[in-house]
Amino acid sequence: MTFKDYQQLVAQLNCWSHAYHVLDAPLISDSEYDATFQELRTIEKQHPTWIVSESPTQRVGDIVSSVFRKIPHEIKMLSLENAFSLEETNAFFLRAAKSLVDLEDFEKLDNLLADTTIKKAQELKSEFKALATSQLFETLPIFSEPKLDGFAISLHYENGILIYGATRGDGEIGEDVTHTIKTIQSIPLKLQTDTPPEILEVRGEVFMTKAVFEQLNQSENVRSFVNPRNAAAGTIRQLNPQAAMERPLQFIPYGMGAYSDEREFTRHAEILSYFGEIGFKTNQNCRAFLASETAFEQDYQRMEALRDSLPMEIDGIVYKIDDLNLQEKLGFIARSPKWAVARKFPAQVMTTTLLDVDFQVGRTGVLTPVARLEPVFVGGVTVSNATLHNMDEIGRLKLCIGDKVQIHRAGDVIPKVVKVVSEGEIRRAIVMPAHCPVCESEVIKTVNEIVYKNKPSKKITTYHCSGGYFCAAQIVERIKYYASRNCLNIRQLGAKLVEVLCEQGVLNNVADIYRLQIADIANLEGQGEKNAAKILAAIEASKHTKFSTFLTALGISEVGESGAKNLARHFKTLDKLRAADEEALVQVPDVGAVTAHNVRTFFDDTAQNQLVDDLLCAGVFWDENENESIENKQSLSGQTWVLTGTLSLPRNEIKAKLERLGAKVSGAVSAKTTYVLAGEAAGSKLTEAQKLGIKIINEAQFLELTQ
């Protein structure tokens, strides 16, 4: 037995495993596979130095002991906007077509119209744009894929070898779950190609088939999972890979993250078939067609008819613009692309009785009515609460306590009361309390008018607790929000724990998080010293944040994630933001008078200002030079860069920066290369670039270009 024989044996086993797990076409019997696998084990015992990372014996490693390692995603992991009807789907792609039309240069048209009167010219121009939009819409190439109901994962391969697998996390930073990912047999440990890309990130969904879920549900220990998606997510987040191995999951890719290779793709469909070629299972039942209302409807009906017969749960269809060039032009907003949408299957419907209505006090003091229902089983879970949105909604529904109501539940969305089915025998009116149910401060009613461009304006009545930052409910919600995923993302400090700590009087404001001691947590039920130490470590780690994240986490009314990013980008430092008056604030993109006023009021409030200082004193910090990622302003979009020679900045840093700005980084020079960034002692790539007449720049020029 030589090392070469050993390698061949590994390749043979991987080939059989691929045939079985990916192609569903076994080449040999299970017992033959097992016998060869044992043979491999024996050889590896005799020659431990031979073991290669793609050996099937390497799928189950050691138990990971602590919190998962954080992994930044070089390319953000996006989510999808939802469409719940044909109209919404159509409207989404019409908006995409409109954006593409708006990106066009209308100089010629402007010249043509120069002679006509200005008003007429403007009218003609918008007429023309509308026509161009509807025409462009019909040429959009759409790729339709089943929307797998599982858990998003990014697999990072370097030169064909699986290096790590990460969860999506907040989209920018995920968690290292390589140990459980490796147990998934349909994920190749080594890509099946002789010419692997230098870097390839394969993104897709990990899921559990319906059959496996049902089987597992028979056994005692997994009863707690309500559906296959939760079971998949729970399995991936196991510390023990052996346990993951026992709950077989599958993986199907749907997109690409970081990538550097010569091979170029022009269509999304090509990427998916490339994934098939290099050893992945592919999403079946995909279709390509041109955008039209009829095509979307037909495709939806096709998938709806297929749904029950599929081996895995799907919760809708994903429609993507297949042309990568158009995808790049459209870009994304906040967390979802402007070129893809999820058409969700309709909500599941059930009837039950409205037992009571409670009023929940939110982070900003708004009181929301919540329906307490007679428990009912809808779409795999028992529902006993549902949102009622606001008092206007209750009026519109003509709802009273005691009525029989219809409940809708769609995916992860909070269940909703949609209508009264029949009035109850004994009915009780739903009344907004005069005082906050938590702090007893007076409840204040406000009527706001929302003015729309094309439809009649709407009046919305809101009620809020006047207790402000002294209301215990608002404090709890603010602390939960501060620690939540889109803010400081202190996963270990979940909503339940915050509630308990607030109840015990340990947490009285956001800054108290950083004053927590082991004993505060260790003595709580179900915690213990070890857990408490983990939580404190996570809190400590959260101190290093980004300016925009910190701003989001402060929870200033109307300042969400994207508003905070705009403010951070504009003012750059907290001092400058604190000093800005309303006039300066409205200069920030997308910041209107209301938001500007809220920001000013927040920093003018002594208690709030003190809280900000307390957080900084507690050690919360960020790097002021760190670029806030500039979404949709990808100034290098469409460019291809090649790096060569010795550079003073780390290569992955340069690469990440270029990719953030929309450029592709390739490993080889070709006619398509836009720039070659050449450092000291550059070799053949530099010569090749000179031969092809490609622009060559040095590091100083690179910095200037990417500022």
The footprint of ligand IVH (CB under 6 A) covers: 78-80, 145, 147-148, 152, 205, 254-255, 283, 318, 337, 340, 342
Q: State how far the Cα of 374 lies from the Cα of 419, in Å rounded to an integer.
A: 16
Q: State how far the Cα of 261 lies from the Cα of 663, in Å rounded to an integer.
A: 13
Cα angle 318, 324, 329 (rounded to 5 degrees) comes to 100
Give least dist CB 677 to ligand IVH, A: 28
Question: DSSP of 47-93, one letter per residue?
Answer: -GGG--TTSGGGGS-PPP-SSPPEEE-SS-----EEE-SHHHHHHHH
Question: DSSP of 560-590, one letter per residue?
Answer: -HHHHHHHHHHH-SHHHHHH--HHHHTTSTT
Six token digits for residue 531 = 């857990």
**Which residue's entry shows tokens 């092809």?**
692
Closest to ligand IVH by CB, 116 or 266 = 266
Rounded to the nearest 5 percent, the helix, strand and coil shares of the chain are 40, 25, 35
Which of 151, 193, 153 shows the shortest CA–CA distance to 174?
A: 153
Give least dist CB 216 to ligand IVH, A: 21
Closest to ligand IVH by CB, 201 or 520 = 201
Closest to ligand IVH by CB, 80 or 599 = 80
**Which residue's entry shows tokens 């002021």?**
624
Which of 37, 71, 4, 5 shows the shortest CA–CA distance to 185?
A: 37
> Residue 269's Cα: distance from chain center in Å?
22
Closest to ligand IVH by CB, 342 or 438 = 342
Q: State how far the Cα of 484 lies from the Cα of 43, in Å rounded to an integer.
A: 49
| Spatial contact of 300 and 86, defined as CB atoms under 8 Å apart | yes
Closest to ligand IVH by CB, 272 or 388 = 272
Give least dist CB 315 to ligand IVH, A: 8
Task: Centre a 10 Å sphere on the Cβ of residue 667 and count the other Cβ atoms it contains.
Answer: 14
**489 phi/psi in degrees, rounded to 5:** 50, 55
Q: Which residues of 553-586 are buried (b: 16+ CB within 10 A; e: fewer)?
A: bbbbbebebbbbbbbbbbbeebeebeebeeebbe
SS3 of 446, please? strand
Closest to ligand IVH by CB, 101 or 318 = 318
Give least dist CB 320 to ligand IVH, A: 7
Closest to ligand IVH by CB, 255 or 555 = 255
Q: Is 147 a catalytic residue?
A: yes
Give least dist CB 168 to ligand IVH, A: 6
| Spatial contact of 129 and 101, defined as CB atoms under 8 Å apart | yes
Closest to ligand IVH by CB, 342 or 417 = 342
Give least dist CB 679 to ligand IVH, A: 33
**288 phi/psi in degrees, rounded to 5:** -120, 135
Give least dist CB 340 to ligand IVH, A: 5
Cα angle 693, 684, 657 (rounded to 5 degrees) comes to 75
Active-site residue (options: 45, 70, 129, 147): 147
| Spatial contact of 677 and 647, defined as CB atoms under 8 Å apart | yes
Task: Centre a 10 Å sphere on the Cβ of residue 531 and count the other Cβ atoms it contains.
Answer: 16
**Which residue's entry shows tokens 């955008």?**
291
Q: State how far the Cα of 398 lies from the Cα of 417, in Å rounded to an integer.
A: 12
Q: State how far the Cα of 664 lies from the Cα of 564, in Å rounded to an integer.
A: 28
Q: State how far the Cα of 235 lies from the Cα of 224, in Å rounded to an integer.
A: 12
Closest to ligand IVH by CB, 80 or 536 = 80
Give least dist CB 148 to ligand IVH, A: 4
Residue-level length of the chain: 707
Give least dist CB 79 to ligand IVH, A: 5
Give least dist CB 252 to ligand IVH, A: 8
Closest to ligand IVH by CB, 342 or 642 = 342
Active site positions, annotated = 147
